[in-house]
Amino acid sequence: MQPFPSQPLDHDSLHEECGVFGVIGVPEAANFVALGLHALQHRGQEAGGIVAYDPERGFNGAHRFGYVRDNFTKASLMETLPGALAIGHVRYSTAGSKAPVIRDVQPFFGELAMGGCAIAHNGNITNAAALRRELIERGSIFASGSDTECIIHLMARSIQTSIPERMKDALRRVEGAFSVIAMTRTKLIGVRDPLGVRPLVLGTLHDGAHVLASETCALDIIGAEFLREIEPGEMVVISGGEVASVRPFAPAQSRFCIFEHVYFSRPDSIIGGRSVYETRRQIGVELAREAPVEADMVCPVPDSGTPAAIGYSQESGIPYAMGIIRNQYMGRTFIEPTEQIRDMGVRLKLNVNRALVKGKRVVLVDDSVVRGTTSRKIKDMIIAAGAAEVHFRIASPPTAWPCFYGVDTPHRDKLLAAQMSPEEMRDWIGVDSLSFISLDGLYRAVGEAQGRDGACPQYCDACFSGDYPIPPSDQIANGGFDPEGPTTLSDHTAP
């Protein structure tokens, strides 16, 4: 029996909700931001926005639905965004949300007592509903449904005399995961939450220009030099070619999102001094050690399973082969006009290399299993192409708990691993074997030789362990999360 309804391909994977990018000190800064957002498109494909400042024309912004390449490469639009200071944002909204509206597209702009401020945010504010109610009761008028707008309103109500100080005030009221970039008329500002759940990096261009971005791959595209990561709980204020650093929050142990290593970040990015590609290859090595199998070929589910499949092949000695080919021109916005085409599902995006897999025992390596519907369809395609056996190897532990920190995760009752044991999942997907990397194995792959420290975990791994480092206050308040239930709040929660 199929426990979940058929879903479009995009609904059977996890999605980051956004990426941020900002630059100060270069002519036509908005063009640099557009390039940076293009490099971060994997973090959000629904919409994008750019705000720029020019002393003569003030603040100007553009917000559009769709890909960066389809909007922010048009000269007629980019000419409306002059100036040497700009920030941008790409967005992926959560599943089940209302139809997208342009007013929810960041960056947001507000005119404060000491001047204008634009802000963009990657992550999720876990007490946003409570803050929103409080602010509305005190007279604030919201223009969007985004949690990020709470930060603007909190800044407006602060009694501090500068925008960076008002931002400190606002963010001290905020709970959750946030990497924020903001701009005033003269400053570019970047902040990470105390636990550093979401990424943010600092780079430099020529002549004192500086860049803030979600990932290092966005620095590469504009030829910027990577300087360092913004530290958990750090705020940097960049102006006049100088970078000032302050610590607005109480110290806390870092809990960076481990799924950034597994899936979200691009493989050509650097996280924590480690190549994302090399980490994913090492995940495959660990997986081969933990879950060996006799087979004829190792095949990735492209593209996210590719580095792990290479590692699995190298460690196991089983030949690597491209048994599944991805249609590179099948984007999220593909129009599905009829039920017949919609039912083709995975075939619109992936096709089996029949000549390669026929008669073979195939190890399929994928990054995760969410609802399981896509895994089942891929297995059917491989069997239909004549494979003798199909063995799934998954480059992450079972995803059994939702994320409240900025990842589009289905409700727990829609997560296959929350409803079934690995053996039951194997039978439901219909494969000869199914194995996930262990949590300790994943930690070893990201450089923690002793595995996961259960007393004080080094990463946020709540989607695998149910150990939430930051209380999901809004979820608790509305009954959507039971801290005494099967999920737990970490003893090392954020202050």
List residues with catalytic annotation: 18
Nearest residue to 478 (alpha-carbon basis) of 121, 93, 133, 96 = 133
Structure tokens at 128: 């946003």
CA distance 487 to 469: 11
